[in-house]
Chains A and B, each alone.
Chain A
Amino acid sequence: MADSHASTPLAHQFEDLEQQHEAASLGMWIFLATEVMFFGGLFAGYTIYRNLYMPGFDVGSHLLNVTIGAVNTAVLICSSLTMALGVRAAQLGKRHALLTFLILTMALGLAFILIKLALEWRHDYLEGFAPGLNFTFAGPNAKSVELFFCFYFAMTGVHALHMVVGMGVLSVLLVLAWKGHFGPERYNAVETAGLYWHFVDIVWIFLFPLLYLIGGRY
């Protein structure tokens, strides 16, 4: 993966560009498999507790702001579109389009993180929903509501961390694209980064209904 940035398009260990390309995408797919298992542990824990403490989880879910969550979902889906267009631009060797789409993707990613941080987490914290820091929610099922918020913060936090890493990768690509590094012969890095970006979006597509839409609200 990292090796596709080498100064010559073909790294010494490969026979030809096709082999190099296939190796890079297989590597990213396998990496995504490890990510599935990583999030899988969290999802498994969430599912078990959701079944054990259904009422508390419903209460917790109702305390989240669905509108903001939905807006963020839309933002992320748009960023996946721009990312896909960016990969296409790289394949066709359109440097200008690639730069535009990379910047758009990063802007949307940044928007997601800012919305999450400024509108949601800050609000949750001020309301006293942060377990271990200031959890003050009282009422029936308080302890399972707290458990819900444990998972809410852990899952959205890990997801946001992946977004930040993705932003870092995109900014490296942006610099390389600026230098005219990519072309029809070498767009591996853009494609594999694109795979990663889509994966992080898909995780959110699962997180949104699990966290925001449970409890027979809709």
Chain B
Amino acid sequence: MATAAVGPETRVHYLNVDYGIKSWLLTTDHKRIAVLYLVSITLFFFVGGAAAALMRLNLIEPNGALVEPATYNKLFSIHGIIMVFFFMIPSIPAVLGNFLVPMMIGARDLAFPRLNLLSWYIFMAGGALCMYAVIAGGVDTGWTFYTPLSTTYLNSNVMSAALGVFVAGFSSILTGLNFVVTIHKMRAPGMTWFRMPLFLWAMYATSIIQILGTPVLAITLALVGLERLFHVGIFDPAVGGDPILFQHLFWFYSHPAVYIMILPSMGVISELVTCFAKKRIFGYSFVAFSSVAIAAISFLVWGHHMFVSGQSIYAGIIFSALSFAVAIPSAIKVFNWTATLYKGSISYQAPMLYALGFIGLFTMGGLTGLFLATLAVDTHVHDTYFVVGHFHYIMVGGAVMGYLGGIHYWWPKITGRLYPDGWARLAAAIIFIGFNLTFFPQYMLGYLGMPRRYAVYPPEFQVLNVMSSAGASILGVGYLIPLVYMLWSLRYGPVAGPNPWGAKGLEWLTPSPPPTENFEKTPVVTEEAYAYGAKEGAVG
């Protein structure tokens, strides 16, 4: 533990090895690229969050407290586009994945470091195009770009927004490609597949979806662009095209994309639960293979977004059955995490609170998914606030909680500093309460029949909407607190040391922050992941 005594200021590590803007913008170090992503997606998160805040403010009154319907439509479109494509999808893979995948397998970097930097530039180019669409007057397609509305009828900045998403997609593809090659080819000696931390299994499953799903979105948006430019009719019924075909192609990507967002969080939770319970994961192979199963099934369920679109009843029945199938591996994960706590030695630092919050909220979000897979019930709640509540429970209650838990867990490794745990626990509690207050009323609104994407609504829905907006203000405060103490910790936080949590895993064997080459010597792995029972220092 000699390295712990040397402060991060005197030792050379990836953060102080070079200074100046150029050393960041031209870096090929996966850790620095992770930090670039961290800064960019945090910015996008607050842009998307601001749009959400304005929406909730508007919905306090049935006739709209703030903006015209046209503006409201732009707000929810930009909220969706930014949060899905520029925050959720890159969040864990591009930040934590970039930082951790090489470290967890004992490699010096990803297989293609320059490609990794290129991915960030592509991502930023896509983001810039979307921000241009916002500044130039907004876009009001919704994040789903449904045809023929998006191709023929809207006059807003559809082209630049769609192009931005199209471009950002390639960043996602290349990141996934990089991870798969790295995990396949660059594991340290002794790091077999079944010794890998479950975070890597989750990243691997996620990468497969990114690689196989995203190109379909790309070609679909390209066709939307062609149709808008040349007024040809691939999705336009006026020329015999089929708007439903667009929905098939769009959801063929965008349903698996949901798992691009949630699978990495599940991986993070497996790391957190084991570390803070000092326990091996319960049923390692079940948790690992459930990730792969979710990725595989995710490609077969897209039609459940189209139960009321006019597709045939038989298609509906098949997609309904397949959608229920996703519930099984998800349930297996939840049960195994819970069982991991059994007879553990559980401590409640901030990352663990996020992890437990994740398990609870994901359970509620996942179970409400059953309602939407059930044909007869979906017919009633489709395109209502029930759906909005459901996917926010998965995306925000699940994926964002996992992301925040992961950021808090690996923050000492990334920066070498500890944040104040008391504030962090307070923030976790505020987020949990604010979240439930925001989104639980939306389930009720949905069953009562309030349609989504409504700028104005009948007055009887007001009470629940006001509750939701009140919750949103608490949630907003909850998200701002970590921003403050994280920034504070960069300068004033206590020095973390290589392994502040007493965690297992190769990333904790190297100093914090790690040196550019991650490990002085390529580590040799001799035991399973999460070997918490084994003697200290047996790894490596």
**Total of A-B residue pairs, C-beta within 8 Å:** 122
Residue B54 at the A interface, CB < 8 A?
Answer: no
A38 is contacted by which of B118, B180, B216 (Cβ under 8 Å)? B216
In this complex, the member of A34, A35, A38 whose beta carbon has the largest number of chain B beta carbons within 10 angstroms is: A34
Give the CA-CA distance A3 to B186 in the complex, in Å: 15
Which residues of A have CB within 8 Å of B252? 41
Residue B7 at the A interface, CB < 8 A?
Answer: no
The answer to whether B239 touches A23, judged by C-beta atoms less than 8 angstroms apart, is: no
Which residues of A have CB within 8 Å of B111? 13-14, 23, 27
The answer to whether A19 touches B232, judged by C-beta atoms less than 8 angstroms apart, is: no
Residue A22 at the B interface, CB < 8 A?
Answer: yes
Residue A12 at the B interface, CB < 8 A?
Answer: yes
Of A96-104, A105-113, A146-154, A162-170, the one contacting chain B is A146-154
Least Cβ–Cβ distance between A24 and chain B, in angstroms: 8
Which residues of A have CB within 8 Å of B185? 19, 22-23, 26
Of A42-50, A58-66, A179-187, the one contacting chain B is A42-50
The answer to whether A41 touches B181, judged by C-beta atoms less than 8 angstroms apart, is: no
The answer to whether B186 touches A13, judged by C-beta atoms less than 8 angstroms apart, is: yes
Residue B505 at the A interface, CB < 8 A?
Answer: no
Which residues of B have CB within 8 Å of A12? 108-109, 517
Number of interface residues of A (CB under 8 A): 41
User: At the interface, is chain B mostly helix, strand, loop or mixed?
Assistant: helix
Give the CA-CA distance A19 to B188 in the complex, in Å: 12
- Residue interface mask A125-161, B partner, CB < 8 A = 1: 0000001110000000001101100110010001000
Residue A178 at the B interface, CB < 8 A?
Answer: no
Give the CA-CA distance A27 to B173 in the complex, in Å: 11
The answer to whether A35 touches B215, judged by C-beta atoms less than 8 angstroms apart, is: yes
Give the CA-CA distance A52 to B241 in the complex, in Å: 10
Which residues of B have CB within 8 Å of A133? 230
Which residues of B have CB within 8 Å of A143? 233, 239-240
User: At the interface, is chain A mostly helix, strand, loop or mixed?
Assistant: helix
Interface footprint category on B: 35 or more
Which residues of A have CB within 8 Å of B212? 33-34, 37
Which residues of B have CB within 8 Å of A2? 112, 114-115, 118
B234 is contacted by which of A1, A23, A33, A45 (Cβ under 8 Å)? A45
The answer to whether A41 touches B234, judged by C-beta atoms less than 8 angstroms apart, is: no
Residue A208 at the B interface, CB < 8 A?
Answer: no
The answer to whether A33 touches B211, judged by C-beta atoms less than 8 angstroms apart, is: yes
The answer to whether A30 touches B181, judged by C-beta atoms less than 8 angstroms apart, is: yes
Residue A53 at the B interface, CB < 8 A?
Answer: yes
In this complex, the member of B181, B182, B220 whose beta carbon has the largest number of chain A beta carbons within 10 angstroms is: B181
- Besides A27-B111, A38-B219, A143-B239, 11 other A-B contacts (C-beta < 8 A): A14-B111, A26-B184, A27-B181, A30-B181, A33-B212, A37-B211, A40-B216, A52-B240, A146-B232, A147-B241, A151-B234
A binding-site residues for B, Cβ under 8 Å: 1-3, 11-15, 19, 22-23, 26-27, 30-31, 33-35, 37-42, 44-45, 48-49, 52-53, 131-133, 143-144, 146-147, 150-151, 154, 158
Q: Which 9 A-B pairs have the closest CB atoms?
A: A132-B230, A38-B215, A41-B219, A13-B109, A37-B215, A131-B232, A23-B111, A132-B232, A23-B185
- 14 A-B pairs within 8 Å (CB atoms) are namely A1-B115, A11-B113, A13-B108, A22-B185, A26-B184, A33-B212, A34-B173, A37-B216, A40-B216, A49-B242, A132-B231, A146-B239, A147-B241, A150-B226
